[in-house]
Chains A and B, each alone.
Chain A
Amino acid sequence: MPKVIIRQTTPPDVDIEINGVNEGSVVSGGAAAINLEDSNGDPVIPESVTVVGDTFTVELPAASTGWVRNPDWLPLPDISATNNKMVCLYLVYESGGNDVRFNCTTNAFQVDWGDGSALETIGVSTHVYDYAAITSPIKVDEYGRNYKQVIIEVTELIVNSIFEFRPANNIITKGYSCGDIRTTMTSLVRLSFSYAPNLEIFEQFGVTQSLNFNSFYQNKLPYLKQFHLNPISSIQNQSSFSQIGEVSNFVYEDNGSTTCNSLLLRARIRRAELKGSLITSASGVINECQLLEEAVIDFPLVQNISNIANNCMRLRKLTFTNCSNITISTGAFDNCSSLEELILTGMTVGFSVRNSRMSSAALLALANSVGPANGSQTVITTGNPDASDPAYIAVFNSKGYTVTT
């Protein structure tokens, strides 16, 4: 249990009060240990405790997603700087059902199955793992089933091909065999399964083809935690990621699409980093993302951000790297009741941050981030804690904005 020690060194014996509440007596020369707990009764470990005069400042750790990768799992090889590879953690169950199938452009890929068998050039191919022959340690999953692990490594021999991955999906293993995936292939990767509870990380770098990620649609991968996709030429199904599983960090770069409306509508993501060099319309992109806490949006050509982030009730920090082309901002930040920081670099039209949580410093940073108003424009800050602070209002006014508080 973490403790803050308060030592009383001068007589007489005294009672200790914390924020006005009597917390008991400390004997002269003795010490009182203060345990910190959160509202759930769980211990809280301070990052630091500083003392100025009689004031103790306890700095608490930043909010955690609570997710850590399964410590039993083999590390996924880092191939982010290597072209034309795919690696996948694959779980081989003692109970059987350990086939993996590929339906690929013939002779375009070579695979190392990770079980000591020979390299194989694949097309429409199936490989059946022999649990007994695999040398990695036996692990036990949450249902008490024994499994061993292999790392499948695929090398792309012909770029821009078709690569379809069909993990075992029989009655025994269902979609459990497929663990994390990392790929740097240029080929279109199709994940031909709709439920893979062990697929928690999907990272794709360097794809040049258009993608249709139906696999991620409508909560088909409910346990996805890390998602990285960049760059790609375009997304074929704009709502592919709608209602995606609980992702702690969603990184997305699209250099082909011009629109991405409602891309992450109601997605259960905690952090988003979105880039799109050609996107002009981004209406509702992170609309109703109820778990979202932070987002960085880099759409330098975007014109329409209507309703882009409304109803993101936990969103604390939102940064736009370039707003200079925005002409429509209707409802962009409505009902962002937790918003503490908003940066709109180069914005020239009005907007509303009504009923958010922005302090004087945050409002000043916001005012400093925007560009000169394009004609008559209004900024609405009603309901923010420091909405009446004249300092940020003066900055907005100097740039031609009317401010409503």
Chain B
Amino acid sequence: MFYKQNTDTGEWCFGNEVHFPDGTKLNAENKQSKDGWQWHDEPPQEYLEWLEKQNNEINTEL
């Protein structure tokens, strides 16, 4: 799956396919990196840490 962190907001985006305006399509058959999107077979540690932090914030709010 492709992952990308937004450098402005810190948010992570991910998806199986990424379609770029220039026609480039990243997917399981084309795992090149482009514009911050990177293929990871497993979720990257930075993403998991961000996700845990998000969950903790939600739990704190509740």
Chain A: residues with CB nearer than 8 A to chain B?
Answer: 330, 352, 373, 376, 378, 380, 382, 388, 393, 396-405
Taking the complex as formed, is B60 at the interface, i.e. its CB lies under 8 A from any CB of chain A? Answer: no
- Note all chain B residues with C-beta closer than 8 A to A398: 21
Residue from the list A352, A380, A382, A402 in contact with B21, Cβ < 8 A: A402
Question: Smallest Cβ distance from A384 to chain B, in angstroms?
Answer: 11
**Complex contact A404–B15 (CB within 8 A):** yes
Q: Are B9 and A352 in contact, CB atoms less than 8 angstroms apart?
A: no
Complex interface: chain B residues within 8 A of A388 (CB) = 17
Q: Are B11 and A405 in contact (CB under 8 A)?
A: no
| Inter-subunit contact B23/A402 (CB<8 Å) | no
Give, as a whole number of angstroms, the nearest-CB distance from A108 to chain B.
45
- Contact assessment for A404 and B21 in the assembled complex, using a CB-CB cutoff below 8 Å: no
- Closest chain A residue to B23, Cβ basis: A397
Q: Which residues of A contact B18 (CB under 8 A)?
A: 402-405
A385 to chain B, nearest CB (A): 15
- Which has the most chain B C-beta neighbours within 10 Å: A382, A397, A399, A402? A402
CB neighbors of A among B13-46 (8 A): 13-21, 23, 35
Q: How far is the CA of A175 from the CA of B49 in the complex (A)?
A: 52
**Beta-carbon contact of B19 and A403 below 8 Å:** yes
Residues of A within 8 A of B14 (CB): 382, 404
Apart from A402-B18, A402-B35, 20 more pairs, CB < 8 Å: A330-B11, A352-B13, A373-B21, A378-B13, A380-B13, A382-B15, A382-B16, A393-B19, A397-B19, A397-B20, A397-B23, A400-B21, A401-B21, A402-B21, A404-B2, A404-B14, A404-B18, A405-B15, A405-B18, A405-B19
Chain A contacts of B23 at CB under 8 A?
A: 397
Residue of chain B at shortest CB distance from A329: B9
> Which of A373, A396, A404 has a CB less than 8 Å from the CB of B13?
A404
Closest to A328 in B: B9
A378–B20 alpha-carbon span in the complex (Å): 9
Q: How far is the CB of A378 from chain B (nearest CB, A)?
A: 6
Please tell me if the beta carbons of A376 and B17 are within 8 angstroms of each other in the complex: no
Instruction: Let me know if A376 and B13 touch, CB within 8 A.
Output: no
B16 to chain A: which residues have CB within 8 Å? 382, 405
| Chain B residues with CB under 8 A of A378 | 4, 13
What is the bound-complex CA distance between A380 and B19, given in angstroms?
10
Least CB distance, B8 to chain A, in whole angstroms: 10
- 18 A-B pairs in the complex with CB atoms less than 8 angstroms apart: A330-B9, A380-B13, A380-B15, A382-B14, A382-B16, A388-B17, A396-B19, A397-B21, A400-B21, A401-B21, A402-B21, A402-B35, A403-B18, A404-B14, A404-B15, A405-B15, A405-B16, A405-B17
